[in-house]
Amino acid sequence: MWPLIAFSVVLYVVSRFNYLLFHSLVEGFAIIVAALIYVLATRTYQHSRNSMFLFLGIAFFHIAVLDFTHLLTYKGMGVFPGSGADTSTQLWIAGRFVETLSLLIAVLFLQQKQINRRLVTAAYSLVTAGLLLSIMVFGVFPACFVEGAGLTTFKVASEYAIVCLLLSGAYKLYRRKDYAEQGVFKTAGMAMIITAASELTFTLYTDVYGIANMLGHLLKI
């Protein structure tokens, strides 16, 4: 507990001096964790036969792709000329919807003995590509942030919807805890609750470099 608190304090100090560095560190950490979940889930499946963990591994790999793009398009990064605060916010919402729905769907696999890995991977690849194209190329994804005005109604409503889905998923997972391995059960349950708390803070900010935005990212780790 103390190391985590100390780490959070260090990150807070970094955010006051260089928010882009803070954001890159937090998002980079989350992306690495998501990638490690994918590696662990896919490499151990033939021994564990844990369909829920495999499904989450595939899901989190694609979530990592969306989050990495969110990181690169963040205001001030300059990797994608023309992309602003709205683009990165859209990618954030897209990633959180995929994450939330994945956690909910994973609960359905608690009693499944196996899943079609290729089919799940193909489905996630199509969804991820579709979201990226809708935001980065075609510009048809709903606006989430307006410079000078702050969050749009769609963004705020989406965050509340995500929170409700996560909390209902955590409750459903608790009701079915007897079907899950304790390690996976606790990890998935904590992920839902912490993500819900993080998303609530993301309904409050008007500045992508502000305190509310920073707090939401800290909760994410």
Q: Which helix (H) or strand (E) holds 157?
A: helix 153-175
- Rounded to the nearest 5°, which phi and psi values hold at 33? -60, -45
Give yes or no for residue 221 having a pLDDT over 80.
no
Contacts of 56 (CB under 8 A, 6+ apart): 37, 41, 102, 103, 106, 188
- Per-residue pLDDT of 82-101, as tens digits, reads 788 999 999 999 999 999 99
Distance (Å, rounded) from C-alpha 194 to C-alpha 167? 10
Distance of alpha carbon 170 from alpha carbon 192, whole angstroms: 6
Q: pLDDT tens-digit profile of 37-46?
A: 999 999 998 8
Query: Residue 111: which pLDDT band, with cuts at 50, 70 and 90?
Result: low
Assess contact for 187 and 132: CB atoms under 8 A: no
| pLDDT over 90 at 66, yes or no | yes
78-86: list long-range contacts, CB under 8 Å, 24+ apart.
80/136, 83/136, 84/147, 85/145, 85/147, 85/208, 86/143, 86/144, 86/145, 86/146, 86/147
pLDDT tens for each residue of 135-150: 999 999 999 999 888 8
Mean pLDDT of the chain: 88
What percent of the chain has pLDDT above 70?
Answer: 90
- With contact defined as beta carbons under 8 Å apart, do 71 and 31 qualify? yes
- Helical packing angle, 2-17 and 19-48, nearest 10°: 140
- Asked if the model's pLDDT at residue 220 lies above 80, the reply is no
